[in-house]
Structures are given as structure tokens and as C-alpha cells.
Structure 1
Amino acid sequence: MKRGISTFLAVLFCATILALYFVVNYYFVDKSNPTKSKDASISEIGPIIIPHFDAFKDKRREFLSNLSSEYKSEKIVLFSVNHFSVGTADLLVTDRKWDYKDLEIKIDDENVAKVASLDFVAKEENPFIFEHGIKNVLGDLAQYFPDAQITPIIVRDDIAEEDLEEIFDQVYSAVGDSMSVFSIDFSHYCPSSMAQIHDAYSISALRNLDKSASYKAETDSPQLMNMAVRWAQKTDKKHFNLFYNSNSGEIADNTEMETTSVVLGYYSNGSQQKDKTSTAIFAGDVMLDRLVYHAYRNRKLEEVFSKIGNRFFSGANLSMVNLEGPISKTQIDDNIAANNLVFNFPMQTPLALSYLNINAVSLANNHTNNAGHAGFENTVDVLNKAQISSIGSYDNRKDSISRVFDGPTPIALIATHELIGPSEIEEVIEEHSLQGRFVIVFPHWGSEYSKKHVAAQEEAARKWQKAGANLVIGSHPHVVEDFEIIDGTPVVYSLGNFVFDQNFSRETNEGLIVGAVISENNIKLSFFPVKISGQTPELMCGQRRAEILEGLLENVASTQKVNDDTIIINRN
């Protein structure tokens, strides 16, 4: 009997201890990040990314306040882009004394001296006086980390990716014992929905610790993005904790205004995420002969894209247009006749496309053989030399009909010239789909100047959807056509013109840019109407923009609409 009571008491005691353990663990231990603990040291945190854009200073301060309650550091190195490209070296450092009213800015003289001793660094004061990437952040760091000594460094924005490894290694050797803070603003000068596409790419690069993708991201400093990822890898801090992401247009509830976006986050201990997000941006027909060439023959050809700028198509895995003609080896004739239907584009075409950050073009159309087969081959060659992929051909040859673009979710792009007859690409679609790729079909099809698709287009789209196509985006009609979703596959029947000289109607001077964020569960599409003025494309605003978007998305369910220019579709 006594033995039974003793056994019962022992079991009861163990059960009580176990219950107390679970109660304490459940109610009193912070499980939001299992690697964090109160007053954790610098060894527990990797690089921190914050904005210098003061429209989000309250979020920046909230973020730093949260971090300072968890992490302590006696040393901070603060990196910013050199916004004004001033100074005598790639990197600049300073020991200047800063006046922040009641705040004491403690400069780390020892680390400043270490950094200044590097061959590619100069110690200068004047470039820091107006450098808002440092000024806007320095006071907040001093407020929330009052015991820390700070080393301010600014980095030029023209340092090539291949030069960053050596620069980073030497900087890290000098100040790797410090908490690293990277002052970075993200997407610039684009509408809110495009900023979100850019940021999806950037955040994916950060989560995946992808140095190359981080350098290509749409930010004010590819160099700092790359260095932040390198710092995370060097310190074995593989988990990116996203605190906040937004842009000024989203805050203002304005989808037309130019924006600046921000990402706030930090690396810590923990497993690396596998972010499967890829992005793509498409524009319509590009024709650089006739009146377009005439208008820019004595100027840099890339100026044709000056109203779009070189940031809109950046920060994407795939940025593509339909190139409606061959590229010449020699100077082309200045022939502005409207009945000139044999196109030949100037030698500067690859430079203009590279300025726009285009990395792919479709050659599957009825004009790429206007200079014969030799002209087509030259076009492919000069595009390859400019690192621009060409997909498709005027005769649908099998060896060029598809290309795969690497990314977290690989994209298979199939370009087909449907005007010469049905291409029967279903097997190609099925093959890519079975490989787990996101399949996009880019057909040259339909009837010129028709605002609504014809039956043959829908019939082809339905066949491709059944074969496994995830997205269909068309060209050729030279006007924007309608949009529909076929069993979960979005079909943009025609993007219309992007650069053309068809000035005889309003509709031929209009087009669409379509951006896509591709994830495992859904695809988010954003539509950006453009207008052509003086042979130059620009984003559309106001009433006409609203009319185009309303007509385009009128049959989309309200549950799929994010705002007036963006929808989300679940992937089958």
C-alpha cells in the first residue's frame, strides 16, 4: 500500500513539473522569433535594413525601438548610398561631429580609422553634410542605441557587381565586429502597383540570400543590397525577418502617383526561407523605324524611353517587349512614308533596350524577316551580345520558340507567330509544365485594330490552357484588346503599341504594360495603360486611364480585385 502511494506521489510530482514547464513556455516565452532573447548581443543579429525616406520615419523609429529592446551593441556601422556621387573614392567615411540637439552622436574613431586605411576609401567630411541617407538615420540610431559608437560610410552607386566581393571582404575585416545597418530606399518613381512588383523581387532576393538578384533589385543602391546579403552570409544569419513594406502611393491610396517604397527588416539566426516569388513585366509592339527613327536620328535612341525611365522595367526576372522588326548592321534610311512596311531598326536598338532594362524580346512576328534571314540572324546576334534573350522567329523554328528564365519559380516563355498558321505548341507547353515551370505563351495573333479578340484567339488560348499554360499575353493588333480568365489562366489578348508611329487614331497611340508577381499559390497582375506622344511612350493618368482599366477588368470578380489596376488569381 505504501509503495503504491509513493509511486502515485512520484508520478504526480513529475506531472506537476511537466505542466509548469508547458505553462511557463506557453505564456512567458516569446515565440515570435525563437532565436531572440532579451538583451541579446550583436552576435545574435545580422544586417538591418531601414529607409532614409522620412515619410516613413515613424515606422523606422518603431522598428528600431523594437530592435533596441531585444538587441544591444556597442558598435554600429551605418551604410548609405552616395546620393550625389561626390568625393574622391568609391567609399567615404567621416569622423565629423554631428549636431542633433539633445542627442549625442558617438562616432567610432577607431573603426573610422580602420576603414579609412583601405585603398578604396577616403576620409572626407563635406560629402556627409547633405547626405540624407546618413543624416535622416543617424539621430534615430543614437536615440535607440545610445551606448553605441557609430561609423558612417557612404558607397558610390556605380561600383560593378564583380568588384564588390573584394570591397566587402576588406570592409568586413575592418568593422565586422559591429552591428551593420543599411540605409536603403527601394522602388523609385513608379506607380504603387509597380513598386509592389519591384519589392516582391527585392524581398525574394533578400530571403533567398541571392547576391546576384539583390544587385539587380530596384533600389537606390544595388551595392548595399549585395553587401547586406554578403554580410548575412558571412555572419551565418540566414533568416530574413520582414517588419514592414509599403510605398508612398499605397499610403496615399493613389495608384497613379510616383512613389518611393520602403522595406524594413533584419537577418537573424534561424533557417533560411525559400521564397518562390518571381516577377515579369511585359510591354507591346516596339517599332523603331519610320517616324520614330526620324524623330531620334540625331539624338540618343534611348531617349525614346525617357518618359518611362530606366527603373520601370528593372527589378524583375523577366522584362520583355515585342520587337517588331530586324536590327541593321549599318546606318538605316530615313524613310518616313506611312506605306513603308519593310522595317529596319537602327544599330543603337540594343543600347536603347538595355537602357530600359529589357532582358528579352519576342521575334515571333511578321516583320523580323524584313531584312531577310541574314537580317534576322544579325538581330539575334546583336541582342545576345547585349545580354538580351530573343524568343521565337518569323517562321516558328523549333530551336528558338521557347526560353527558360531562371528564378525562384522558373519561367518558360514561348513566343509563337500565329499569323502563319496554328503553331501546335501544346507539347512544348506540357513539357515545361511537367518541369514545374510557370509557362507564359506570347502569341503574335489576331486582327489588326480590332478592340475585341476574335474566335481563333480564344480557341488557341483554351488549347494552351488545357496543355498547362499559366498566362497568355498577345501582340499584333496594335490596339489594346479585351482580357479574360480561362479556367484560372489569365489571357491578355493584345498589349497594343508601346513605341510606334501609327498616329491615325487614339487607340493605336495607346497600349498596356502588364506586370506579374508569380507565387506558388497565385499570380498577381497589374495593368498600366500607356499613351504615345510624339513617338514617345508615357504612363497614362486621369480619366482615360480609368476608362481603359474599367473596360479591361469589367468581367473580373470583385473578390479578385486588389485596386483599380491590380487583380489576384489563384493558381490551379
Structure 2
Amino acid sequence: MLICLVVWLGGCGGQEPTASPAAPTQASALAEPEEAAPAASPAPTPSKELSPAPTPTAAPTAAPTAALPEITSTPSPASTPSAPTPASEAEPRHIRLAFTGDLLSHTAVFRQAQAYGGDELAFDYRPMFELVKESVSDADLAICHLETPLSPDNRDLAGYPVFNAPGDLAAAIAQVGYDGCSTASNHSMDKGIAGIEVTLDLFDRAGLGHAGMARTPLEAAIPTLYQVNGVTIGHLSYTYGLNGFILPDNRTWAVDVNSAQDILDEARAAIELGAEFVVLSIHWGAEYQVAPTAQQRALAKELLAGDEIDLIVGTHAHVIQPVERLGGNLVIYGLGNFLSNQSPQSCRSCPPESTDGVIVQVDLMEGESGTMEVVAISAVPTWVDRRTFTIVDAGAALVADSFPELTRQLEQSLARTTTTLRSYGVDVVVAGPP
């Protein structure tokens, strides 16, 4: 994976607060009791290295340009051309994007991570991703959705209703192959402004990009950009709300809250900075409802009416929702849960669909005009085995018969995911048995 990462969060959007943070007024997910976890060592320094990248030639009017870091890897000799290829003969640029849904570290999930832990990571989530790691890392740009804040020292952990996940999760996210995450969610303020700052500090330490939250006004004003195989991808992240918490008057920029105008303004700023394809990750919809709400569809239509947003990727519903084409662009309404403890066995309101997840892969190809166009969309359905919180590639497991005791559950999950993704007429290619 050859990636140059331009980090610093996008968006000046946010609701206008009237007071300092207050206790949440609505619960968001799983009716699971909070339990304290033992203290553990802090997350290690990640292996990715940062080096300076060129300063953008243009900047949004909201803030001056800043020097931005770059993550690079050296191509193997076999892939390095012996001489420059003439522009007229150059192959069209092509990249694969990958997106996954909610990482929701309930108490049972971080306890399992602690059981896997060792000297390197006291809370080790990597075994949970082992069966899907290749599908994530093979993408040119892989984006996760972090639902919750992170603890700086793996202490004071909580799984519901006010979350605080182990800081070691950031290192694991990077090591399994993600390049960045959307971070705006209804749980962004669960640990206040301090939780936002800690989470982003841990992401920086792990070499991960992030969009949706910010530590400073400048960070909020500069959109997140990724350089991927010579293509500049802009990434935005917004949420419908904050579970009743209120952003302080002097920190209204700390989390991007849904506003069509703010989203479009940030997308334009990303384009001014060179973005050739803009992705919006958005937290929206009704929990456990497979069909998108009228509000989701109306907002999607409004956002895709112009040329600012090229792809919308939704989270929050905790179930997979359909893919729709609007005005020539795609909306992935809901990616479902990628890792959580939600299931009918752990939560009265959680349907079987809450155990389903998906890796959505979007292939972009440079068109004749030089613009990046979606040429294919495919999906790897996943399912959480709550015995070990392993994320199972449902299709691959069925083909290999690697979990014979789970065959029926995997078949049902695969069928649900396939039917839902295609229900609005988009021919999503789904990985699975022939």
C-alpha cells in the first residue's frame, strides 16, 4: 500500500451550544452494564513514521495553510519504472477505497481484548481482525469508523452508556491495515473535550488519519486529505448529534455536527486544496432500522445535488442499510456494526442484523477528462463471532467450511447483507459462495 497522508481535520460545522457539557439525555446502543476494567499499560508508539509533505498551494478561506505530514513506503524494485512514462501513454490512475462500520467497544469486547493482551498491547484487538485483515490492508485507502473516545492509559474504561475504550485500540487499528477513521459520532463527547484531544493524540501517535473531531480551530478548518497513488482524496466526517452533550461555547468546532451548508462548505474547501474525490462519512438514521429514513434520503439528495460530494458512507444504525445511486453518485446508507457486542442475546432491542458487518470496496478509475469515477462497488460481508469477538469473513468461512458449527448463522447473515445492499437496485458485487 503506497500512501501519502495529509492529516488535519476538516469542517467548521457544529451546533451552537448554550452551556457546558451536560449528562446525555438519550442512550445510543446496547443495554449492557458498565463494569470497571483493571488498569493496564499505555499504548505503544506505532511503527509508522511521519515526514514533511509539500504545503498545499491553496487553502480554505477559514484558515491559513499548514505544513502537513506524509506517510510513505518505498515501491519494490520490480514496480519501479526504469524511465518516466510519457503523459500521453500513462495508464489511467486507479485506486480502491475500503470502508467499514462501527467500532463499538462494549465491556465484553474490551475484556476480550485484555484477554488477548501481552507485552506489546495490554488490550490487543488484533486477533479480532485477523480473518478480515487482508481485505482491509489490500485496499489503497482503508477507512474505519471509531464510535467512541479512547483512554490515554487504558484506565477508567466504560462500555455503556458513556463509552471509553482502551487507547491500545488505535495502535491495533493501524496495524491491521487502516489508514484513518471517521470520528464524528453521537459518542464523540462521551469524555468531554479532553476525550477528543486524547483520542486524536493517540491517532497521531499511531500514524492514522482522522476526520470529524478537532483539537484547535485551525485543525477544524483544514480538511483531511489523503494522497493515494497520485490521487488526492478528501474525507469529511459529521454526526447528527452528541447524545445530549453540548459543545462548549469556545469549542463549537470540536465535533462536526450535521449541517448541509457546513458539509458543502468543507467539501469546497477540500476541492480548493486539491481533492479530486470527496468522501463524506456521516452518522445518521434510526438505530436498528434497515430502511433509510426519509431524513437520510432527503439529506443525501441535497448533498449530492451539486459537484462537491462524490460518495456518502453512513454509520450509526448498527445494521446494514442499502446502497443507492443519486444523481450519478453512490450513497452507502449504513455499514452496520463491524465490531461490537450487539446481538439479540445481549440486547433486547438488537435484531440479528446487529451482528452483521461489511467491508465495502469502491474502485475509482481516472476518466478521459481526468476526473476520478466510481467504476465498481463490491462488498465482503462479515459477522461477529461473539464467543471470541472475531470478525468473520462470512463468504470465505462458508467456502472453507472453517466454522461448521456456525454455518446456518453465516448463511443467514450473508443472505441478509446481500439482499439489503442490493435492495435499491445497485448491483453490488458480494463476495461469497458461487
Match of 2:164 in 1: 344
- Decide whether the 8 Å contact of 2:101 with 2:338 is kept in 1: yes
Find the aligned partners of 1:270 and 1:427 in 2 and give their Cα distance: 33
SS in 2 for 1:381: helix
Alpha carbons of structure 1 residues 376 and 432: separation in structure 2 relative to 1, 3 Å: closer
Using the TM superposition, give the Cα deviation of residue 455 of structure 1 relative to its aligned residue in structure 2, in angstroms: 1.1
Using the TM superposition, give the Cα deviation of residue 410 of structure 1 relative to its aligned residue in structure 2, in angstroms: 1.3
- Decide whether the 8 Å contact of 1:364 with 1:394 is kept in 2: no
SS in 2 for 1:467: coil
Q: Does 1:374 align with 2:194?
A: yes
SS in 1 for 2:109: helix
Q: Does 1:532 align with 2:349?
A: no
Summarize the alignment of residues 65-464 of structure 1 with structure 2, pairs less than 5 Å apart.
Answer: 215=75, 226-230=76-80, 232-233=81-82, 236=83, 238=84, 273-300=90-117, 301-333=124-156, 340-393=160-213, 399-400=219-220, 402-407=223-228, 408-419=230-241, 421-424=258-261, 425-433=263-271, 435=274, 437-464=276-303
SS in 1 for 2:136: coil
Using the TM superposition, give the Cα deviation of residue 414 of structure 1 relative to its aligned residue in structure 2, in angstroms: 0.9
Q: Does 1:497 align with 2:337?
A: yes
Find the aligned partners of 1:304 and 1:397 in 2 and give their Cα distance: 37
Find the aligned partners of 1:476 and 1:394 in 2 and give their Cα distance: 20
Percent pairwise identity: 22
Alpha carbons of structure 1 residues 351 and 562: separation in structure 2 relative to 1, 3 Å: closer
State the number of aligned residues. Answer: 310
5+ residue gaps, structure 1, are 1-159, 163-210, 216-225, 240-268, 567-572
Match of 2:356 in 1: 510
Scaled by the length of structure 2, the TM-score of the pair is: 0.64
Letter in 2 for 1:426: L
SS in 2 for 1:474: strand
Alpha carbons of structure 1 residues 380 and 453: separation in structure 2 relative to 1, 3 Å: same
Scaled by the length of structure 1, the TM-score of the pair is: 0.50
Deviation string, structure 1 residues 175-196 (Cα, Å, up to 9, x no partner): xxxxxxxxxxxxxxxxxxxxxx
Match of 1:256 in 2: none
- Decide whether the 8 Å contact of 2:321 with 2:420 is kept in 1: no
Match of 1:519 in 2: 365
Find the aligned partners of 1:474 and 1:342 in 2 and give their Cα distance: 22
Find the aligned partners of 1:272 and 1:329 in 2 and give their Cα distance: 50
- Decide whether the 8 Å contact of 2:233 with 2:275 is kept in 1: no
SS in 2 for 1:320: strand
Deviation string, structure 1 residues 203-261 (Cα, Å, up to 9, x no partner): xxxxxxxx95664xxxxxxxxxx12234x33xx3x45xxxxxxxxxxxxxxxxxxxxxx
SS in 2 for 1:518: strand
Deviation string, structure 1 residues 153-182 (Cα, Å, up to 9, x no partner): xxxxxxx999xxxxxxxxxxxxxxxxxxxx
- Decide whether the 8 Å contact of 2:381 with 2:431 is kept in 1: no
Find the aligned partners of 2:240 and 2:217 in 1 and give their Cα distance: 12
Using the TM superposition, give the Cα deviation of residue 327 of structure 1 relative to its aligned residue in structure 2, in angstroms: 1.2
Using the TM superposition, give the Cα deviation of residue 562 of structure 1 relative to its aligned residue in structure 2, in angstroms: 7.7
Using the TM superposition, give the Cα deviation of residue 356 of structure 1 relative to its aligned residue in structure 2, in angstroms: 1.2
Match of 2:41 in 1: none
Deviation string, structure 1 residues 93-141 (Cα, Å, up to 9, x no partner): xxxxxxxxxxxxxxxxxxxxxxxxxxxxxxxxxxxxxxxxxxxxxxxxx
- Decide whether the 8 Å contact of 1:393 with 1:417 is kept in 2: no
Using the TM superposition, give the Cα deviation of residue 451 of structure 1 relative to its aligned residue in structure 2, in angstroms: 0.8
- Decide whether the 8 Å contact of 2:260 with 2:302 is kept in 1: no
Deviation string, structure 1 residues 24-79 (Cα, Å, up to 9, x no partner): xxxxxxxxxxxxxxxxxxxxxxxxxxxxxxxxxxxxxxxxxxxxxxxxxxxxxxxx
SS in 2 for 1:285: strand
Find the aligned partners of 1:562 and 1:510 in 2 and give their Cα distance: 17
SS in 1 for 2:154: coil
Please give the root-mean-square deviation of Cα atoms over the aligned residues, in Å: 3.1
- Decide whether the 8 Å contact of 1:364 with 1:395 is kept in 2: no
Match of 2:327 among 487, 496, 512: 487
- Decide whether the 8 Å contact of 1:430 with 1:467 is kept in 2: no
Letter in 2 for 1:352: A
Match of 1:64 in 2: none
5+ residue gaps, structure 2, are 1-46, 50-70, 118-123, 242-256, 345-350, 368-372, 399-410
Letter in 2 for 1:455: A
Using the TM superposition, give the Cα deviation of residue 482 of structure 1 relative to its aligned residue in structure 2, in angstroms: 1.8
- Decide whether the 8 Å contact of 1:317 with 1:406 is kept in 2: no
SS in 1 for 2:234: strand
Using the TM superposition, give the Cα deviation of residue 309 of structure 1 relative to its aligned residue in structure 2, in angstroms: 4.5
SS in 1 for 2:195: helix
Find the aligned partners of 1:213 and 1:546 in 2 and give their Cα distance: 39
Using the TM superposition, give the Cα deviation of residue 352 of structure 1 relative to its aligned residue in structure 2, in angstroms: 1.0
Find the aligned partners of 1:295 and 1:463 in 2 and give their Cα distance: 42
- Decide whether the 8 Å contact of 1:380 with 1:390 is kept in 2: yes
Letter in 1 for 2:100: A
Using the TM superposition, give the Cα deviation of residue 335 of structure 1 relative to its aligned residue in structure 2, in angstroms: 5.5
Find the aligned partners of 2:48 and 2:79 in 1 and give their Cα distance: 13
Find the aligned partners of 1:466 and 1:289 in 2 and give their Cα distance: 38
Letter in 2 for 1:519: M
SS in 2 for 1:472: strand
- Decide whether the 8 Å contact of 1:473 with 1:491 is kept in 2: yes
Alpha carbons of structure 1 residues 325 and 212: separation in structure 2 relative to 1, 3 Å: closer
Find the aligned partners of 1:344 and 1:423 in 2 and give their Cα distance: 29
Find the aligned partners of 1:360 and 1:563 in 2 and give their Cα distance: 24
